[in-house]
Amino acid sequence: MDKQISFDPPRGMRDFYPADMVWRNKVFGAFREAGEAAGFEQYDACVVESYDLLARKSGEEVGDQIYHFFDKSERHIALRPEMTPTLARMVAARQKQLSFPIKWTTVAQCFRYERMTKGRKREHYQWNLDIIGEESVMAEVEVIGTACAALRRMGLSPEDFKVHVSSRALLGELLGASGIPAEKHAAVFLALDKRGKIPDEEIKYILSQGGLDEAGIAKVFEMFAVKGLDELPDSPAVANLRELFRLAEIAGFADCLQFDISVIRGLSYYTGIVFEAFDTKGEFRAIFGGGRYDSLLTTIGGDPTPAVGLGFGDVVVTELLKARLGENAAAEKRGIAVGFMFPEQRDAALALAARLRAKGEYVNLSLRNQKPKQFFARASESTCAKAVFIGPDDVASGKAKMKDLATREQSEFDL
Ligand code: HAM
């Protein structure tokens, strides 16, 4: 006999039952509305991408996590772990036709063969917001402000989350001032990104392997003592960060931001301001993360083009929303349940459902006759806000009652 097939999805993958889709739709709805409200245009691409593009352009860690395979013609293919390399490829392909700056958005399913921990799956949907072709910090302002607006639409406030902001340019200046040469900075960033995830001793070892002496390593760790921008001497990177905070004040989301020098980001392509959003209680993983990546277009062969963007996953934010707003907070009651008592009333119920649907109502029509108690019990548990139950008397009188399931108020109407 064949082995019994497991009812579980493959490890790290999710099934979305109707109750899960209610949450997904709430989250995706906020993504879409916030993106539209800020003038981002939608784009999309296939989840399958060429391995070379992804392996070379994602961060080291993400590069190791790629699901990849050879197709029947021996093409090396992968499931995208993130959208940014694909976006860069699409923009590079049309660089002469596009009129910059462009503001693009998508919700992309991404796959990473990760160690499974809270908030980390092997598949997730990631809302991406990117502005390509804008050098000024206005790009950061628009991208971060739009993500904060989405969190507000979902029902969270600045008390629930903060966007921690730093800058690789700033870290580069500090490393440079400590005598650490520029060609070592990228390796230092990737090692430092592991802070909190692996012991500091291990990070010091990685840095020493990268050629840093003990004094250099000590200087690197001293950087993290900086708590506020005002502790730092004026420099281009500091001025840039100050401008971001000033503009965020005008745009009305400064209360969502906080300077945090420890934000590094694990992807290698970031060049300037970097940021990551966390819940204020520190219970969950990063809600979203992003930054400026001014060199990615050139590294894939495009023209030099500044860029800023972020990725905002569906997993962590859904966990956070359930914890802060309640497990049932996404359920929205709307629509009308229509039922009938005996088979003889079925035609009348079907005709009523058709009429209501033609008017644009959401109608859940019972497929068979039911006892009134059964019908109303099911209707109350459903997503419907109102219910009509048709019995023999209703058909005879040509009138039926529409019941509000919350208030129990009834109103009569012509069948
Ligand atoms: P990332 O930090 O690797 O950045 O991912 C961004 C967000 O995606 C995370 O903050 C988290 O919400 C979600 N995420 C990532 N991996 C997982 C996972 N295994 N399970 C659940 N959620 C996950 C990027 O991917 C960049 N490409 C973002 C970007 C766009 N930068 C510029 N443009």
Same domain, 251 and 371: no
Q: 254 in a domain, yes or no?
A: yes
Q: According to the model, what pLDDT value does residue 60 have?
A: 59
Q: Average pLDDT over the chain, rounded to whole?
A: 94
How large a percentage of the chain has pLDDT more than 70? 99
Tell me which DSSP letter residue 88 carries. H
Instruction: Write out the two tokens for 387.
Output: 């219910």
Record the tokens describing residue 126, joined without a space. Answer: 């990631």
Cα separation, 125 vs 16, in Å, equals 12
Per-residue model confidence as pLDDT tens digits over 262-289? 999 988 899 999 999 999 999 999 999 9
For residue 371, pLDDT beyond 90: yes
pLDDT at 197 (0 to 100): 83
User: Which atom of ligand 1 is closest in space to residue 277's alpha carbon?
Assistant: 10
What's the CATH number where 342 sits? 3.40.50.800
pLDDT tens readout for residues 52-107: 998 876 655 677 899 999 999 999 999 999 999 999 999 999 999 999 999 999 99
pLDDT of residue 93: 96
Q: How far is CA 92 from CA 88, 104, 128, 297, 298, in A?
A: 6, 14, 18, 7, 9
387, 336 contact by CB (below 8 A): yes
Domain limits for position 50: 18-325
Residue that finishes a domain, picked among 283, 301, 325: 325
Which is more confidently placed, 37 or 58?
37
Whether the CB of 30 sits within 6 Å of ligand 1: no
The reply to whether 6 falls in a domain is no
Q: Does 54 contact ligand 1 (Cβ within 6 A)?
A: no
Q: Looking at the structure, do residues 89 and 167 belong to the same domain, yes or no?
A: yes
* Domain identity same for 358 and 297: no
pLDDT tens per residue, range 299-343: 888 999 999 999 999 999 999 999 999 998 888 899 999 999 999
- Does ligand 1 come within 6 angstroms of the Cβ of 270? no
Is the same domain home to 196 and 341? no
Q: How confident is the model at residue 219 (pLDDT cuts 50, 70, 90)?
A: confident
d(CA 273, CA 285): 20
Q: How many domains does the chain have?
A: 2
Adjacency order of strands within the sheet including 68-70: 48-50, 76-79, 68-70
Q: Are residues 284 and 391 in the same domain?
A: no
The partner residues of 203 in beta bridges, in order of sequence, read none
pTM of the model: 0.93
Structure-block tokens of residue 121: 């799956």
Residues 253 and 367 in one domain: no
Whether residues 344 and 274 fall in one domain: no
**Looking at residues 133-140, what average pLDDT do you find?**
98
DSSP string across 158-209: TTTEEEEEEEHHHHHHHHHHTT--GGGHHHHHHHHTTBTTB-HHHHHHHHHH
Q: Does residue 162 sit within a domain? A: yes
For residues 234 and 303, membership in a common domain is answered with yes
- Of 245, 34, 284, which Cα lies nearest the Cα of 152? 34
* Residue 9 maps to a domain: no
CATH of the domain at 128: 3.30.930.10
Angle at alpha carbon of residue 134, lines to 132 and 138, rounded to 5°: 115
Residue 152 within a domain: yes
Which of 124, 128, 194 is the best mutation target for the ligand 1 pocket, counting ligand atoms within 8 Å of the beta carbon and taking the most? 124
- Ligand 1: which of 67, 82, 125, 129 to mutate, judged by most atoms within 8 Å of the beta carbon? 82
Query: How far, in Å, CA of 335 to CA of 237, rounded?
Result: 53
> Quick check: CB of 124 below 6 Å from ligand 1?
yes
Domain boundary among 290, 325, 360: 325
If asked whether residues 249 and 371 sit together in one domain, one would say no
